[in-house]
Amino acid sequence: MKNELFSLREKKLSGRKPGDTTMNDNGENPSQIRGLHLVALLEGAKGTIVLLTGFGILALIHEDVHLAVEQLVRHLHINPARHYPRIFIDLATHVTDLQLWVLAFSALCYSVVRFVEAYGLWKRMAWAEWFGLLTGGMYIPLELFEVARRATWPKITILAVNLVVVGYLAYVLLQSRRK
């Protein structure tokens, strides 16, 4: 009962009808805010995955990387005698600890950029919208090339998600320019 009275009072004060989601009291579109939050969560998830990968790389320092890569290939049920797994395994034979540190540091830098972008999108900062549009858009030609070369469901899914994110950020930026 108390919650119903509070929500009725809130609706009267805001001057909106129930179900009206065009603008909130700050003049912002709630569905647009939810969309930006969703993109921010996606960027944060990408940063988290790469950060965890960087920690995994750090765990390989002073270890037998060749053996670890062979175990990974077998665990993923990939034939180690095939061309690409063989290249991956052969490269692991020559990896130095310094190269592992560089890879881990690169993963950290990428993660920090994704986390900063996610924070900016969550807080609805215009620079983050532009940054997301540009960094997402720069991958589209490469993703299109990969799909055209050999279409697989993972490649198509990544391209589709990226197109949706870039298109949505472009829409948000166009809407903000019209105000």
> CA 76, 47, 54, 158 torsion: positive or negative?
positive
118 and 37 within one domain = yes
- Residue 113 in domain: yes
Would you give the distance in Å from CA 84 to the centre of its chain?
26
134 and 111 within one domain = no
- Residue 170 in domain: yes
Tokens of 153: 């469901």
- Residue 40 in domain: yes
pLDDT tens over the chain, length 179 residues: 555 544 544 444 444 444 444 455 455 688 889 999 999 999 999 999 999 999 999 999 998 888 888 888 889 888 888 888 888 888 888 899 999 999 999 999 999 999 999 999 999 999 999 999 999 999 999 999 999 999 999 999 999 999 999 999 999 999 888 76
- Residue 138 in domain: yes
- Residue 17 in domain: no
Domain span at residue 131?
125-179
Last residue of a domain, one of 123, 148, 169: 123
